[in-house]
Amino acid sequence: MGASAAAGVAGAVALADPALSAAQAVGVKPGDLPDLTIKEVKVYVTDISGVRRLNEENGEIASVVTNSGIEGNATLRPRMFHPNWTNLGWLDNAKRTLVGKNVMNFAQITSQWSNRGQGQSSYAVVHDTCMWDILGKAVGLPIYKILGAYKDKQMAYASSAHLRTVEEYGPDVLKAKAEGFKAYKIHPGSGQMASGPPIPAWKGHIEEIKLVRKTAGDDMILLFDPVQRYSRDEAMKVGRALQEYDFIAFEDPIPTTDITGLVDLARALDIPVEVGEFIFSIYDFPEYFLRGALDIARLICDNLGGITGAMKVGRMAECFGINCTPHNWGEQMDLACHFHVELALPNAPWFEMPFPQTGPDRPYHKDRLRIDKDGYVPAPKAPGLGYPLDRDALDKITKRIDR
């Protein structure tokens, strides 16, 4: 079989029975794996000076430990955008739902088929991430290889912050280019010039588009993400400017709930319309595919029950001949979840690197996510999530361990 077909078969097995897929990946039977019965759950509550925290007392790292001593981890913080995204209470939930269960019964533990009305529970996201981390460590493989590795590196684009003035985007894209990035995404700011009278934000964003193209040169691949802030008319005007200046993606131009408006934009514009970051369940994606409301499928693992749900949406997009672009933001472990999905999907062309690259760093990781000299992020080699905890560093900043 070709690489795509082989990865697809492995990926199908991984989604149907992750434990079986993990065992098959190293040529053993599931019964030969270590004892993966969960004996303990806990939370490392840390103090990281100088790092913006969403909710310090919500803990930093979830820990699920098996009888064989294998620990799975995930970041434990409030999740943005979701109607019930708060991980307050995760520990009590995990005590009730995980302890005594076996990771071999993966689908039952991660609750992939519940909460259809509101999307996946944020607790299920953390459960899912920890289970994949444990499976990878149990067989000595990074998660993407269990999912059906399609590649071993991913081209990255520098994903800008929302900068204050139009003029700031020129130096920012030059800095990204100097670091080796071949692509750059604008998150537009206020749309105001450093001096001069106020103007409508969308007009200022067109000035940002012009400035970045002129500054970056014709060889830089450019993308644009206004995060749902336009009306239909404004989106059409900005979209035409993006086409004129040869951008390759127009992400979340209008509210995701305006499916009819997205259909109209996708039909009227040549630039691909990228949507999905604000879709909160795998069950809501088919309508967007069937109606032609998106040209590129965006997703966040946290919306979809974790790595498992994200892979389902990625495979669904592949069936429609549509590229998939997982959202990379947050801390290093958050990026790692999406990175494994990208490495396993043949239709995922980009790694979104928060810019500057140091943003996701945490002191308890020795290995950092960075681009190489050619603009790619190399796949991790360590098992599980692939970026092991530095226990000495973690001990130094751990205020307490909640059990």
What phi and psi values does residue 165 have, to the nearest 5 degrees? Answer: -125, 165
Stretch (H or E) spanning 122: helix 122-139
3-state secondary structure 173-194: HHHHHHCCCCEEEEECCCCCCC
Name the architecture of domain 149-378.
Answer: Alpha-Beta Barrel (3.20)
CATH class of the domain at 3-146+390-402: alpha beta
Residue 363 is classified by DSSP as T
Per-residue pLDDT tens, the chain, 403 aa: give them: 445 545 554 555 677 888 899 999 999 999 999 999 999 999 998 887 555 444 444 458 999 999 999 999 999 876 555 554 557 788 998 999 999 999 998 877 876 555 445 556 778 889 999 999 999 999 999 999 999 999 999 999 999 999 999 999 999 999 999 999 999 999 999 999 999 899 999 999 999 999 999 999 999 999 999 999 999 999 999 999 999 999 999 999 999 999 999 999 999 999 999 999 999 888 899 999 999 999 999 999 988 889 999 999 999 999 999 999 999 988 999 999 999 999 999 999 999 999 999 999 999 998 999 999 999 999 999 999 999 999 999 999 999 999 9
What phi and psi values does residue 322 have, to the nearest 5 degrees? Answer: -115, 135
What phi and psi values does residue 272 have, to the nearest 5 degrees? Answer: -65, 135
Closest by CA position to 282, among listed 299, 261, 296, 266: 299
What are the sequence ranges of the domains in the chain? 3-146+390-402, 149-378
Question: What is the radius of gyration, based on Cα positions, of the chain?
Answer: 21
